[in-house]
Amino acid sequence: MRRNWFRRLLLSYVPVLILIVCLFVFIGVVQLNDLSRKEALKSSGVYVQNIQNSIDMSLNSIELMMLETITRNTNMTTFAGMQSDTNFFIELSRLLQSLTSTNPWIDSVYLYRAGDATVISDKTKLNADQFGDKPFIESHINNPELDNWSLPRPYRMLKDGNVEGTVISLSRSIPLQSKGIAIMVVNVKINSIQEFLSKYGISEVNQIALRDSQGQLIFEQKGKNPKVDDITIISNYTGWTYSSSLKKEELGNIFNYMKSGWFIVGFLGLLLAIGWIVYITRKNYKPIETIMSRIEKYNQVHREHPIQGPTVDELSYIDYTLSSIIEVSQEYQNQSLVNQKYRRIQLFQEIIDGSRQLVQEDWHNEMLDLGMKQLGSAAVSIVEIDKYTEFISGHSREDQGLFKYILKKVVEESAEASGLRIWQEWVTNHRLCIIFLEEQQEMPLEKMMLTLTEQVRQWMQNNLKLTVTFGLGCTVHEVQAIHRSYESAARALDYKSALGSNRVIGHWEIELLSHDDLYVYLQYVRTIAQAFRVGNDGWQEQLKLLFEGLRRLLLPKEEISGILSYMNYYFYREMMELPPEYQELWNREFRTPWDENMETLETLDELETFYLKTISSCAQQMEEIRVSKGNHGVVQKVKEYIEANFSDPDLSLSSLSEQFNMNSSSLSTIFKEDFGEKFVVYLCQIRMEHAKELLRTTPLPIQEISERVGYLHQMSFIRAFKKMIGTTPGDYRKVHQ
């Protein structure tokens, strides 16, 4: 590019330079002092701003580390839950020591639990009454809104010990958003902040001072008295005030410069230069005028968003315009890079959800990235990490991320080796969704997908000791139909509870399943609960039959959970009929273990083992309680007598009292205490169970069945059956025969 305009402009100002050089020498000396002061003041503002940012970032990093420890480390919630094991306290203390060692500013860290007033620090375990920082704990345990850094305060470990130093403190509730359960407190040494300011905040030009939110002095540089033009910055994070000022210096007397003869020569030269500048500027201004004209035309076209720059002069405006254009361009490029991954994930989610119409341009671009021109067929596979609760509790956050990365990499390399094109993204924390894509529709995509997923499953099991379960969806031929393949894969994966984990489940395995017999197996629930309450051993066999039926039905996880919740409710309702000691036993031996293990029990085999183990333990302990009362033998004889003579229409509490030589009122009380219900209700249940058996297995008339179970009148039997079972005998027979 030719630079004629540059040379012409340069040569035209040479005479002016020669004429005013003397004036510049004088003015330059005077202005240099003032300019230096302004630049020093400006740099002082930047200087103190950097100091403030550095301190805020250091304190904020400590707070973030504190929040991550509370939310990610399960030991914190365990501590708040009143865990008091000695080894657990030692592990907590080591955790706090590691937090202290990660940041040199941290003086100490401790945990406080309100339930038993226990304090765990990075050094020891104390009771709150022995702890020297108890006033701070009391002011924060019930005031979680005090979430900022405290004012500088003295800190001591022991109540009667010496002050160990001045600190600022930050407290957070455990768990977060809770109140009055437990808190975590981090103390930062004021000396560390002062040493930082002594190292980086002292210079020969600036004088730094730092005050807390109450105006108390934290740090100040000793030196000359500051000038009036101080720079003050208040931190939005800590509320501290940072101030900086220039140190005084003596200025020269301007009149000494005005006595020089060069000043007169320079003044005359200035007058001549003004005339020359006016002339030459008018001549050379035309290019600038052209640029300004183009900017004005741009603003007229873009009236809604014009370029609003400084109006001091055209060159500044041109410079501002160019800077704005460059800045916008850079921001756009950076934002484009940041959003690229997000847009890819968003597109992936839209494809598998089928929630809205897919933008074909986005899909076309993605196809090009995958090296494809068109879609022939596609299928979805979902891989789920088995026993994810144990996985996250048994591995650190870094190890979890490494395992997930390895899983994606193994899938990618296996697909590449098989000549398959895939697109995979994590849709949840424990589920990886894989879209298999092919250009040729006639290729056996499902067979290749089955082979690949089985290879990946075996590799993960053999090399990482990590088991995963795959759900394979159906093959589709349009991108808009991929969500149907995803739904079928997710449905196949829902049958992991019935079919087992650490395997590949194809959609074809569950499409022909029928659940018509589910109602029959639900009838076992009430019988199991009632038999368990009265101490009959038949409940174990009934429970095994229930789980065998659920295995044959091959139900998804949601339906299995619903059936088990239904059974848990019946057990709970039956136990509520018994005295409090039985209810307490049930809650301790079954409900609490169920709440703790329900998320980790993934298959029917695991669920059956859990139910048999816990309920058998309850039954054994309930039997021990009954035997310890001394009346158990009598009640057992009464129970056996009822089982043998339930068909007797005259069987009543009075006849039983005569049979066993007992007062009817005492017999009723003993019966109620052992079985949780009245004799009349128990007898009716026995009769209805036998009636249901006859209705299901025999063609006998209703009248004859009513007589066999102890009812002389058919209508009395029908009313009792409907009240107990919820339907008439005839309707019951239609459903179950």
Distances (CA, A) of 661 to 228, 501, 626, 654, 669: 108, 59, 21, 10, 15
- Mean predicted confidence (pLDDT) in 6-28: 64
Domain boundaries, the chain: 11-250, 260-301, 312-374, 375-512, 630-736
Say whether the peptide bond before residue 556 is cis (omega within 30 degrees of 0): no
Sequence letter at residue 236: N
Q: How far apart are CA 67 and CA 59, in angstroms?
A: 13
Q: Please, which pLDDT band fits residue 432 given cuts at 50, 70 and 90?
A: very high
Contact 185, 169 (CB under 8 A): yes
Residue owning tokens 């239904």: 566
Those residues whose C-beta lies under 8 Å from the C-beta of residue 251, and which sit 6 or more positions away, are: 33
Q: Which CATH number fits domain 375-512: 3.30.70.20, 3.30.70.270, 3.50.50.60, 3.40.50.1820?
A: 3.30.70.270
- The third-level CATH classification (topology) of the domain covering 630-736 is Arc Repressor Mutant, subunit A (1.10.10)
Please report, to the nearest 10 degrees, the dihedral formed by the alpha carbons of residues 262, 267, 270, 271 taken in order. -140
**DSSP H helices in 495-556:** 496-499, 518-534, 538-553
CATH topology of 11-250 equal to that of 375-512? no
Tell me the β-bridge partners of 220.
209
pLDDT attached to residue 2:
45
User: φ and ψ at 379, to 5 degrees?
Assistant: -150, 150
Q: Which CATH number fits domain 11-250: 3.50.50.60, 3.90.79.10, 3.30.450.20, 3.40.50.2300?
A: 3.30.450.20
User: DSSP state, 150?
Assistant: P
The answer to whether the predicted template modeling score (pTM) of the entire model surpasses 0.75 is no
Lowest pLDDT segment from 258-267, 567-576, 636-645: 258-267
Task: Tell whether the model's pLDDT for residue 393 goes beyond 80.
Answer: yes
| Residue predicted with more confidence, 426 or 178 | 426
Smallest CA-to-CA distance from 246 within 293, 208, 190, 289 is with: 208
Task: Tell whether the model's pLDDT for residue 554 goes beyond 90.
Answer: no
Q: Please, which pLDDT band fits residue 381 given cuts at 50, 70 and 90?
A: very high
Contact 585, 625 (CB under 8 A): yes
Task: Tell whether the model's pLDDT for residue 3 goes beyond 50.
Answer: no
Tell me the β-bridge partners of 119.
112, 126
Share above pLDDT 70 across residues of the chain, in percent, rounded to a whole number: 78
Q: Please, which pLDDT band fits residue 250 given cuts at 50, 70 and 90?
A: very low
Q: Estimate the share of the chain in helix, then strand, then coil, as percent rounded to the nearest 5.
A: 60, 15, 25
Contact 140, 146 (CB under 8 A): yes
Contact 716, 703 (CB under 8 A): no
Q: How far apart are CA 221 and CA 198, in angstroms?
A: 8
DSSP 656-688: HHHHTT--HHHHHHHHHHHHSS-HHHHHHHHHH
CA 187 to chain CA mean position, Å: 27
pLDDT digit string, tens, across residues 498-514: 777 888 888 887 765 54
Lowest pLDDT segment from 51-55, 103-107, 667-671: 667-671
pLDDT digit string, tens, across residues 658-677: 777 777 777 777 777 666 66
Please report, to the nearest 10 degrees, the dihedral formed by the alpha carbons of residues 455, 461, 462, 463 taken in order. 100
pLDDT attached to residue 567:
81
pLDDT attached to residue 733:
81
Mean pLDDT of the chain: 78
Smallest CA-to-CA distance from 210 within 224, 229, 225, 190 is with: 190
Both tokens assigned to 469: 């379960």
Task: Tell whether the model's pLDDT for residue 256 goes beyond 70.
Answer: no
Q: Please, which pLDDT band fits residue 150 given cuts at 50, 70 and 90?
A: confident
pLDDT attached to residue 251:
39
pLDDT digit string, tens, across residues 438-486: 876 556 788 888 889 989 989 988 998 889 999 898 888 887 888 888 8
Contact 342, 362 (CB under 8 A): no
Neighbouring CB atoms inside 10 A of 429's CB total 11
Lowest pLDDT segment from 60-74, 245-259, 294-308, 339-353: 245-259
Exposed e or buried b for every residue in 700-725, given b needs 16+ CB within 10 A?
A: eebeebbbbbbbeebeebbebbeebb
